[in-house]
Amino acid sequence: MPLFLLLLVLLLPATPVATPSALLGINYGRVGNNLPPTTSALQLLAGLGVGRVRLYDADPATLRSFAKRASSSSSVSPTCLATVSTPSGASSWVRSVIQPALPATKIAVLAIGNEVLTGANSSALTPSLLPAMQCIHDALVQLGLDKQVAVTTAHNLGVLATSYPPSSAYFRKDLLPVLCPILDFHARTGSPFLVNAYPYFAYAEDPAGVELEYALLDPGHGGVPDPSSGLRYPNMLVAQMDTVYHAIAATNRVVASAVEVRVPETGWPSAGDSNETGATPWNAARYNGNVMRLVGEGKGTPLRPDGALRVYMFALFNENMKPGPSSERNYGLFKPDGTPVYELAYRYSSGTCSYTIPHDKSD
C-alpha cells in the first residue's frame, strides 16, 4: 500500500490475551484533507471492538492521545531511515519519541519501513534498513524495553520469486543478501515477519483465473489443493501466509521454526476505476467480514494450524489524498464524516464476531 517509508507502532490492548479482539487490528491512516480529528477517530475505534491499531506517524502528541487505550501507531519520512540507522540517532529517537509514550501507550511493535525492498526508492533505502532495525533494537535493550517492544519491517508479496503452489515458494535471489540477515534478526530477537497480503490484487489482475469466492475468503468455497504438500487452502489469505512460511523455510529451515508471519495490512476496496475489477461495497464488506470471522475462529493456517492469525485491516477511513488509482482512496470502513462506507458490524463480543453484509451485490 503506502510506497513511502514508514516507522510504525502497533499497540496492544491493556490486557494482551489471545481473544479475537486482541488478535485483530486496523490501520489508521491520515492521508486526507477532510479527515476528522483524532478524538473522533478514537470514538470510532472504541466502537469497533478491535484490540490493536497501526498508526503511520510517530508524532508524540498522537501517541499520547492513545494512552491507556487499546491501540495507536507512528511514521517518519524516508530521510529518517538513515538517521535511525546509527546508534546515536536510534537512541535519540527512541528516548525522545517511544520511551515517553510508555507505559501509558501499549506499544507492541516498531515496524521500520513499509515495503522498502520492493519500493520505488529501494536501491537508496535498502542499505539502511537492517542497520536501522538493529540500532533501534539495541536502543530498546539499553533502556530495558526490548521485552515489550519488538522491532521488524513490513514487506509485500513482491519479495517472492514464485508463490504457487505455496509449498514451492521462495524469495527473489536478488533480495536474499538482505532477507537472510533480516530473518536471522527475527529469529534472534523473537520479532515477527510482516507481510502485507491483498487477495484483491490477485483477483483484479486475473479475474478469469482466480475465483472470487476464494479471494473473498468465503467459507463455502471448496478450497484449492497444494499438489506438493497435500494441504488444501480454503481461502487465498491463508495461502498467501503459508507461501511466505515456505519461502522462509526454503531460505533457512532452522530460522523458519522460530519466526511468526503476521499480516499488518489486508483489505478490499469498495470503489475503483472502471478497469479495477471487483472493487465494490459488496465485495469489500464480504472480504472484511470474512477476515473478522477467520480471526475470530482462532485458527492458524493449514501449515501452521496451532498459531492464531494476527491481522490488521486496511483501513479505518477512506483517504482522499492517497496517490494511485481510485481504489487506493477507497479502502476505508468509514467515510471522513464517520458514517460506514458499507453495512458491516465490525465488533467482537464475548469472544465471537458478528457482521452483516449487503444483500444487493450492486450496492
Does the residue 363 lie in any domain?
no
DSSP letters, 245-305, are HHHHHHH-HHHHTT--EEEEEE---S---TTSTT-SHHHHHHHHHHHHHHHHHT---SSST
Under DSSP, the state recorded for 96 is I
Structural domains of the chain, count: 1
Q: What was the pLDDT predicted at 70?
A: 52
Q: What was the pLDDT predicted at 51?
A: 77
Q: What was the pLDDT predicted at 272?
A: 98
| Identity of the residue numbered 315 | A
Containing 244, the helix (H) or strand (E) segment is helix 236-251
Rounded Cα–Cα distance for residues 269 and 259 (Å): 30
In angstroms, how far is CA 146 from the centroid of its own chain? Answer: 21
Helices and strands in the chain: count of H runs, count of E runs = 12, 14
Does the residue 2 lie in any domain?
no
| pLDDT in single tens digits along all 363 residues of the chain | 332 334 454 544 444 446 676 788 899 999 999 999 988 998 888 888 787 888 887 778 888 888 876 544 443 333 478 889 999 999 999 999 899 988 888 888 888 988 999 998 899 899 999 999 999 999 999 999 999 899 999 999 999 999 999 999 999 999 999 999 999 999 999 999 999 999 999 999 999 999 999 999 999 999 999 999 999 999 999 999 999 999 999 999 999 999 999 999 999 999 999 999 999 999 999 999 999 999 989 999 999 999 999 999 999 999 999 999 999 999 999 999 999 999 874 455 544 444 444 444 544
In angstroms, how far is CA 205 from the centroid of its own chain? Answer: 21
Q: What was the pLDDT predicted at 18?
A: 61
Under DSSP, the state recorded for 156 is E
Contact 287, 267 (CB under 8 A): yes
Does the residue 34 lie in any domain?
yes
Rounded Cα–Cα distance for residues 301 and 132 (Å): 31
C-alpha cell at 63: 501517541
> If you search the block for the grid coordinates 489508521, which residue do you land on?
28
For residue 13, give its domain range. Answer: 7-354
Q: What was the pLDDT predicted at 12?
A: 46
Rounded Cα–Cα distance for residues 33 and 116 (Å): 26
Does the residue 246 lie in any domain?
yes
In angstroms, how far is CA 244 from the centroid of its own chain? Answer: 14
Rounded Cα–Cα distance for residues 249 and 309 (Å): 19
- The CB density around residue 151, as the number of other CB atoms within 10 Å, is 23
Strand ranges in the chain using DSSP code E only, listed in sequence order: 7-11, 24-28, 52-55, 107-114, 150-156, 160-162, 170-171, 193-196, 224-225, 232-233, 261-266, 311-313, 347-349, 352-354
Does the residue 322 lie in any domain?
yes
Active site residues: 115, 265
**Percent of residues in the chain assigned helix, strand, coil, to nearest 5:** 40, 15, 45
CATH for 178 = 3.20.20.80
Contact 256, 248 (CB under 8 A): yes
Q: 222 Cβ partners below 8 Å, 6+ apart?
A: none
| Identity of the residue numbered 135 | C
Rounded Cα–Cα distance for residues 188 and 181 (Å): 10
Rounded Cα–Cα distance for residues 171 and 161 (Å): 5
Q: What was the pLDDT predicted at 13?
A: 46
CB burial of residue 25 (10 Å; 0-12, 13-18, 19+): buried
Q: What was the pLDDT predicted at 103?
A: 86
Does the residue 42 lie in any domain?
yes
Does the residue 361 lie in any domain?
no
Q: What was the pLDDT predicted at 154?
A: 93
Question: CA dihedral in degrees (309, 153, 216, 363; nearest 10)?
Answer: 120
Q: 272 Cβ partners below 8 Å, 6+ apart?
A: 279, 325, 326, 327, 330
